[in-house]
Each structure stands twice: as C-alpha cells, then as structure tokens.
Amino acid sequence: MAVQTVASTTNSSSTVDLGPAAALSCRECGHRVPLGPVFACEECFGPLEIAYDFSAYDAEELRKRIEAGPANIWRYAPLLPVPADVADKPNLNPGWTKLVKADNLARELGVTGGLYVKDDSGNPTHSFKDRVVAQALEAARAFGFTTLSCSSTGNLAGAVGAAAARAGFRSCVFIPHDLEQGKVVMAAVYGGELVGIEGNYDDVNRFCSELIGDPAGEGWGFVNVNLRPYYAEGSKTLAYEICEQLGWRLPDQIVVPIASGSQLTKIDKGLQELIKLGLVEDKPYKIFGAQAEGCSPVSTAFKAGHDVVRPQKPNTIAKSLAIGNPADGPYVLDIARRTGGAVEDVTDEQVVDAIKVLARTEGIFAETAGGVTVGVTRKLIENGVLDPSLTTVVLNTGDGLKTLDAVAGTGLTATIRPNLESFREAGLV
Ligand SMILES: Cc1ncc(COP(=O)(O)O)c(C=O)c1O
Ligand SMILES: [Zn+2]
C-alpha cells in the first residue's frame, strides 16, 4: 500500500467518541497521534493501529458484560474502537457466527484433538468483511464522512455496499474488472457505485491511494486505506468469538487465510488482549497462514526464511486472496514465527478439492478462501507441521455461492424421465 497521511477533514479528533480507543500508535516506532482518518506514521511512515485504554476493566465484570451482550460483534464493544451506544446505530450487526465442531472433517484429516470450523459465511453479506466494515463505518460516522469506499478483491466491495445502504451513506467501491460474477452481483445489488478497474488488486489499491490525495476523493472514507486502523480491528472479533465459543479458552492452533494479512495480525492481537485482560488462561498457541500457490508472496518468504515479502503477480482461482503485495505480510511472518506456526500454500486443484471435502463432510459450502484454509490444513498435517492431537480452528471466511465457477462441473447425478423405471435404469437403486 502506498504510504500517505491524510488530515482529518471534518471533526477535530478531540470530539471523536470511539469508546476505549485512546490514540493511534505506530506499529514500527510507537509514535502516538490523536484518533483521526490517518493510517501512516508521520515520523517513519509505519502503519498506525489503535491503542486502547483498558485499565478500568475487571476481568470478571468484563466477561459478564460480554456474555450479557447482543449475539453479534457488539458484545465486544468494550474492546473495539466504537462508541458505547454502537448497537443502536443502523448497521448490519455482523458476527457471532457458528463455530462448528467438525468431527467428520477431523476423521478425514486425521485430527484427534478437536477440529472446529469458524464459519464466517454466516455474516450478512456472506464473508468476514462485514466485521471490518462495521468498525470502519463507525469511524466514518465519527469523522464526518458521508461516502464509503474501498479497494476490494470482491467481498469487501459487497460488505461496504450493504453497510452504506443500511447506514444511509453513499458508496463508491473499486474492484479488479474480472472478478467472479457472484462477487460482482453481490457488490452491485445494494445500489451503490461499483467501478471495475482494468488491472489486478494491487493496481486498484494504488489507484485508491491516488484518489485519496486528490480533490475528487475529498470527504471519502476508504475503509481499508484512510480508515484502515479502525477497519482492521474488526478482525479481532474472530479471536474473541472463537475463545468465548470454546468456553473462554485459547485454541492450540488456528489456520487463517492471507490476502493483505490484516486479518491474521488482528486475530493475534485479539488473542493477546484476551490473555492480558485475564479473560482466557495464558498458554501457547500457534497461528498458521494460508495462501494459494498462484498468489503466495508470504508463504514463499516464510519458507525461504526471509523477513521481506517480495511482490508477486497473482494467478489463482482464489481471487479474494489475490493480493500480490500484501501490506501486512512482514507482520504475518513475525507472528507465524513467534507463535511457532507456519505459512503454507496449496494449488488451485487442492483448493477445489478442499471445498468439496468440507462440503461433503460438514455441509459447509466455502468460497475459494475456505478451500485454501482447509487445503493448507490438510497439507500441514501431512507434512507433520500442524499437530493433529491439538485443538485446531480453521477459518472459512466466505460463502461458496459467490465462487460457483470454482466447482463448475459439479452437477446432476442423472437426468431421468418422471417414472420409477427410468430411475431404476439410472442405476441409483
Ligand atoms: C473471503 C476472504 N477471506 C480472507 C481474506 C483476507 O483478508 P486480509 O486482507 O485481511 O488478509 C479476504 C480478503 O479480501 C477475503 O475476501
Ligand atoms: Zn513510526
């Protein structure tokens, strides 16, 4: 992502109410600035993230407050950059998706320590992106933006379109022109403007960075650019939910898909917060990153032992993960190495196979990103990297209905005349 700082155009940061969010802090040098629509450090150009003041919280009281909260991400409002009355505002109330105990898949993969699928296809626009957009929307409200925008690999465009429609914002979102039909329709149907860019995601992202610096983009909240510090925090809710749904327990291993890498880094941040707040018992956990071979800049760097992620030109059916120059790539490498995890990739063929395995064993129809995580999980077990005797959570972050082409050819078992004779002839009895 191009480094750029944008000054607040509207409200001064001192009037902004984003709950426990105290400031923005640079991930590289720790420099702090007031809350505002900025995303890069003015000292070192490092990425900014939200710093909180959680000092007033008592673990038991906080746990009770969360458990008494709504069945959506706002049960965790005390840990997010949102005002306390966020649940009363028009938004899509995403989250609290199913954590499915996947015993059939566990048998197929040889996992004995408990295998779970966190199924985020159950969100309002059928991907985990509703979580991050909900945070960005609150920041957009706080900073006085009226247009929501983003650069997207598909799912984010739909999540922004829907959230904007519900909240009464204008939306204008940008995607690569050649995305899957399901993603395009899901982004367009909410009535906002949808612009296809002739290029890949990295071209789209570069264009958006230019637009932010131009008068044409003035007053626009780009959820994953100038609102990125707020947006990114939404992925922490995946970590919170997984632990709460496991009975306030950390899993031993989590397998997370990587596009920009933001989600993976914030899942780690969420787990660390729960430990520090005393909501879960501290114990080691491992985070594994999953990519498609045709866009595997982070796994390539991981396997080569590099700290630097070299950009790639994506070529994979897992288009939602097709970011060749991932902004959070180096942080993903740090987390995988620090926790004792790994980053691995699978071929498109393995992605398709994994989609079918998950559907056949658990009745969950994942998009290609889910095929990537399940496929990588299987590969990591086969390679002896992921321990099958430990509690493992695999993320499915999107819905297979949006990437039907991936399983094209799956169809009718037989076509028969409407009589029993014809049914018998088909060899199904
Ligand atoms: C379905 C799905 N899963 C995972 C991701 C990865 O997100 P991140 O960019 O936070 O790594 C994306 C990103 O677009 C996605 O659409
Ligand atoms: Zn800095």
Q: Is 243 a residue whose pLDDT tops 50? A: yes
Q: Give the whole-angstrom CA distance, residue 187 versus residue 27.
A: 32
For residue 322, the ligand closest to its alpha carbon is 1
User: Could you tell me what percent of the chain has a pLDDT over 70?
Assistant: 97
Whether the CB of 398 sits within 6 Å of ligand 1: yes
pLDDT in tens, 335-390: 999 999 999 999 999 999 999 999 999 999 999 999 999 999 999 999 999 999 99
Which pair of structure tokens corresponds to residue 91?
A: 């938004």
CA-closest residue to ligand 1 atom 4: 257
Phi then psi dihedrals of residue 99, to 5 deg? -105, 105
What is the pLDDT, as a whole number, of residue 50? 98
Expressed in angstroms, the distance from the first to the final Cα of the chain is 58
pLDDT in tens, 195-213: 999 999 999 999 999 999 8
Number of the ligand 1 atom closest to the C-alpha atom of 258: 11
What is the pLDDT, as a whole number, of residue 14? 52
Per-chain residues with Cβ under 5 A from ion ligand 2 = 26, 28-29, 31, 41, 43-44, 46
Q: To the nearest whole number, what is the mean pLDDT of the chain?
A: 95
Give residue 369 CA to ligand 1 midpoint distance, Å: 8
Q: Is 10 a residue whose pLDDT tops 50? A: no
Residue type, 105: L
Q: How confident is the model at residue 429 (pLDDT cuts 50, 70, 90)?
A: confident
Phi then psi dihedrals of residue 153, to 5 deg? -95, 10
Average the pLDDT over 114-121 and give the result: 98
User: Which H or E run contains 119?
Assistant: strand 115-119
What is the pLDDT, as a whole number, of residue 406? 96
Residue type, 110: G
What is the pLDDT, as a whole number, of residue 103? 98
Neighbours of 189 (CB within 10 A): 14
Give residue 55 CA to ligand 1 midpoint distance, Å: 32
Q: To which residue do tokens 């490092």 refer?
A: 46
Q: Which of 345, 340, 298, 292 is nearest to 316 (CA)?
A: 292
336 contacts 387 by C-beta, under 8 angstroms:
no
Which pair of structure tokens corresponds to residue 126?
A: 């059928």
Residue from 224, 288, 320 to probe ligand 1 pocket by mutation (most atoms less than 8 Å from CB): 320
What is the pLDDT, as a whole number, of residue 15? 76
Q: Is 4 a residue whose pLDDT tops 50? A: no
User: Can you point out the beta strands (E) in 202-323?
Assistant: 220-222, 253-257, 286-292
3-state secondary structure of 76: helix
pLDDT in tens, 36-65: 999 999 999 999 999 999 999 999 999 999
User: Can you point out the beta strands (E) in 200-265?
Assistant: 220-222, 253-257
Q: Give the whole-angstrom CA distance, residue 419 versus residue 379.
A: 45
What is the pLDDT, as a whole number, of residue 5? 36
pLDDT in tens, 259-269: 999 999 999 99
CA-closest residue to ligand 1 atom 14: 320
